[in-house]
């Protein structure tokens, strides 16, 4: 990438913001990464962080995700972060009355590594799963999938940002892009700090649509509440990511597990913006569901949980790139922040500094929501 002396402000210090800022700084840009609270304190801190391109999706999205997973392999090796980025596969089985045979056939047709396993075959491919919990028809195992501990990955990216001369500003309150004569000129924060810039990258997770709306730009969203549980350390053989009808489970560093599910998120009571109530019965129920799918049905104890909005664009696909009508403003808004975190940061930094559009992002521009686009 061409060395640059551009001044860029990145707003949001989750995986997308940290990756973009680190890639910008590596290329010589003067970078300020600003965040309302702490780093990885939003969606990146409560993500299952499953690295995959499983199931059916558009060709362009599948290609982007497979490139993105490859970036994580390189990152883990070069950063010596094998404990935080693992590729031990993903195992999925269907709810009662449904079948994933069609999904498996689709994955084979596009060259995605996909195996069909009967309950008695699972242990040989991925230990730690109770065969009694697996659907009688069997399960899909994707050997090339993995997981990442996003807070640890963000820490590594921030270390790279600082080493390249970039600056991190935490706890500054909301940051608002400043626009003059159709061009972004920097940001101002609720704490009173201002940052002048030639370009601004908005990577505020679920708040991107709100932040753009203040500038007169509409990006549809389908953002639900997310709930992620982390257990205390437990001795289990599980290494793969499990996606089961009632719970998703993955290992985490230090012998813990992280858990989520659709039904548990629906039980969260929202009292207002940022005010969430999680019932004890929901937490206990999710722990019980996780125990049921693990070999030996271990007793799982809650270490903590995170709750808040999960960023999902209205059409389900990423929203990436320059904002029409506001020169210098770029946006990152996607559900698959874990999988796409490194590659979107890399491609966005290149676009900001060179002005050249990346062909792998052509399908995901925010302008697709403009009437008549």
CATH architecture of the domain 90-143+224-309 equals: 2-Layer Sandwich (3.30)
Backbone Cα Rg of the chain: 21
- The H-or-E segment that residue 367 falls in is none
User: 187-212, pLDDT tens digit by residue?
Assistant: 999 999 999 999 999 999 999 999 99
Reduced to 3 states (helix: H, G, I; strand: E, B; else coil), residue 1 is coil
Closest to 261 in 3D by CA, of 48, 98, 89, 55:
48
Banded pLDDT at 370 (limits 50, 70, 90): confident
pLDDT at 250 over 50: yes
* Phi-psi domain of 18 (left: phi exceeds 0; alpha: psi -120 through 50; beta: other): alpha
Report the pLDDT value the prediction gives residue 371, as an integer from 0 to 100. 79
C-alpha–C-alpha distance, residues 163 and 167, integer Å: 10
Provide the 8-state DSSP code for 56: -
Q: Do domains 7-46+150-221+314-369 and 90-143+224-309 have the same CATH topology?
A: no
Residues 6 or more apart whose CB falls under 8 angstroms from that of 34 comprise 9, 10, 11, 13, 169, 172, 175, 187, 189, 193, 195
User: 141-181, pLDDT tens digit by residue?
Assistant: 999 999 999 999 999 999 999 999 999 999 999 999 999 99
pLDDT at 2 over 50: no
Choose the CATH number for 7-46+150-221+314-369 among 3.50.50.60, 3.30.2130.10, 3.40.50.300, 3.40.50.720.
3.50.50.60
User: 326-360, pLDDT tens digit by residue?
Assistant: 999 999 999 999 999 999 999 999 999 999 999 99
C-alpha–C-alpha distance, residues 61 and 291, integer Å: 34
CA 308 to chain centre: 14
Reduced to 3 states (helix: H, G, I; strand: E, B; else coil), residue 115 is strand
Closest to 178 in 3D by CA, of 197, 161, 159, 160:
197
Average pLDDT of the chain to the nearest whole number: 96
Percent of the chain with pLDDT over 90: 96
Largest distance between two CA atoms of the chain: 66
The mean pLDDT value for 300-310 works out to 97
Banded pLDDT at 3 (limits 50, 70, 90): low
Banded pLDDT at 4 (limits 50, 70, 90): low
Report the pLDDT value the prediction gives residue 274, as an integer from 0 to 100. 83
Q: Is-contact 330 323, C-beta < 8 A?
A: yes
C-alpha–C-alpha distance, residues 267 and 292, integer Å: 20
pLDDT at 100 over 60: yes
Domain ranges in the chain are 7-46+150-221+314-369, 90-143+224-309
DSSP strand pairing (7-11 vs 199-202):
parallel
The mean pLDDT value for 102-128 works out to 97
Report the pLDDT value the prediction gives residue 1, as an integer from 0 to 100. 42
Report the pLDDT value the prediction gives residue 373, as an integer from 0 to 100. 60
């Amino acid at each position: 990438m061409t060395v640059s002396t551009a001044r860029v402000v990145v707003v949001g210090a989750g995986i997308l913001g940290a990756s973009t800022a680190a890639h910008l700084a590596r290329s010589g840009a003067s970078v300020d990464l600003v965040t309302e609270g702490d780093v990885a304190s939003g969606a990146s801190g409560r993500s299952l962080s499953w690295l995959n391109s499983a199931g059916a999706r558009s060709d362009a999205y599948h290609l982007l995700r497979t490139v993105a997973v490859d970036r994580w392999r390189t990152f883990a090796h070069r950063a010596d972060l094998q404990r935080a980025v693992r590729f031990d596969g993903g195992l999925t089985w269907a709810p009662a009355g449904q079948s994933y045979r069609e999904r498996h056939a689709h994955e084979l047709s596009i060259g995605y590594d996909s195996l069909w396993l009967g309950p008695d075959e699972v242990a040989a491919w991925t230990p730690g799963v109770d065969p009694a919990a697996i659907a009688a028809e069997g399960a899909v195992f994707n050997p090339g999938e993995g997981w990442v501990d996003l807070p640890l990955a963000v820490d590594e990216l921030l270390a790279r940002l600082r080493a390249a001369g970039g600056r991190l500003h935490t706890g500054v309150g909301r940051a608002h892009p400043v626009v003059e004569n159709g061009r972004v000129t920097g940001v101002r924060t609720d704490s009173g700090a201002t940052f002048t810039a030639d370009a601004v990258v908005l990577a505020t997770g679920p708040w991107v649509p709100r932040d753009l709306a203040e500038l007169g730009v509409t990006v549809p969203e389908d953002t639900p509440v997310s709930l992620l549980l982390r257990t205390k350390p437990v001795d289990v053989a599980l290494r793969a990511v499990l996606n089961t009808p009632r719970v998703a489970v993955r290992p985490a560093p230090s012998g813990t597990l992280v858990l989520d599910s659709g039904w548990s998120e629906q039980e969260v009571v929202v009292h207002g913006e940022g005010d969430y109530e999680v019932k004890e019965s929901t937490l206990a129920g999710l722990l019980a569901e996780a125990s049921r799918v693990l070999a030996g049905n271990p007793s799982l104890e809650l270490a903590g949980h995170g709750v808040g909005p999960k960023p999902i664009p209205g059409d389900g696909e990423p929203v990436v790139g320059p904002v029409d009508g506001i020169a210098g403003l770029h946006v990152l808004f996607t559900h698959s922040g874990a999988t796409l975190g490194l590659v979107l940061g890399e491609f966005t930094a290149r676009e900001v500094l060179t002005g050249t559009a990346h062909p792998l992002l052509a399908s995901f521009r925010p302008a697709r929501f403009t009437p008549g686009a």
